[in-house]
Amino acid sequence: MQTVEEILKLKKVKNTAVRSIVLKHLLNQQKAQSLKDIETALIHTDRSSIFRTLKTFQKNAIIHSIEDGSGTIKYAVCAEGCNCELEDLHYHFYCLNCDKAFCLFEIPIPKINLPKNFKQTQANMVIKGFCDKCS
Ligand SMILES: [Zn+2]
Ligand SMILES: [Zn+2]
């Protein structure tokens, strides 16, 4: 797995204390994190700095956001080599019991044929059910 320093360098994002703390936290999680999850875990870090950091990370394809239907946006670190292009999109899994969302990096979202003059820019595919801990 890549280190915080390697990822920031690769994506040409300046390393700051807050960025380093937030990215390290995200890398250490098995599941996607909501803004509230991150704020709760990093209680000593300024909340608006955390929010700005997430926006910067998202813009630079370090993390991606997940809409799992729970009403809360969650964030997960992108896979190595991800540029957050359409071909990097993958399925997510949402556990109905523990409210956790997971990246299914190995299951890409297939290209579909859209009607004439329709242009795809995003996709959001979520499988729902129970995770290994809850099933
Ligand atoms: Zn679960
Ligand atoms: Zn994901």
Q: Does residue 115 fall inside a structural domain?
A: yes
The answer to the question of residue 88 being in a domain is yes
State residue 127's pLDDT score.
97
Residue 16, φ and ψ in degrees, nearest 5: -125, 170
Element (H, E) at 66: strand 63-67
Indicate whether 134 belongs to any domain.
Answer: no
Cα 108 to ligand 2 centre (Å): 10
Ligand 1 center from residue 34 Cα (angstroms): 16
In a domain, residue 29? The reply is: yes
CA of 86 to the centre of ligand 2 (A): 12
CA–CA gap between residue 104 and residue 93 (Å, rounded) = 7
**Would you say residue 135 lies in a domain?**
no
Q: Is 93 inside a domain boundary?
A: yes
What range defines the domain where residue 86 resides? 4-129
Output the DSSP codes for 8-22: HHHTT----HHHHHH
Q: How many domains does the chain have?
A: 1
Query: What was the pLDDT predicted at 2?
Result: 86
Residue 23 placed within a domain:
yes
Terminal-residue alpha carbon distance, the chain? 28
CA of 92 to the centre of ligand 1 (A): 13
Residue 18 maps to a domain: yes
Mean pLDDT of 14-34: 96
Q: If you measure from the C-alpha of residue 93 to the centroid of ligand 2, how many angstroms do you get, rounded to a whole number?
A: 9
77 CA distance to ligand 2 middle (Å): 7
CATH number at residue 31: 1.10.10.10
Closest ligand to the CA of 134: 1
Residues having C-beta closer than 5 Å to ion ligand 2: 76, 103
C-alpha 24/C-alpha 10 separation (Å) is 15
Give residue-wise pLDDT tens across range 51-103: 999 999 999 999 999 999 889 999 999 998 888 888 899 999 999 999 999 99
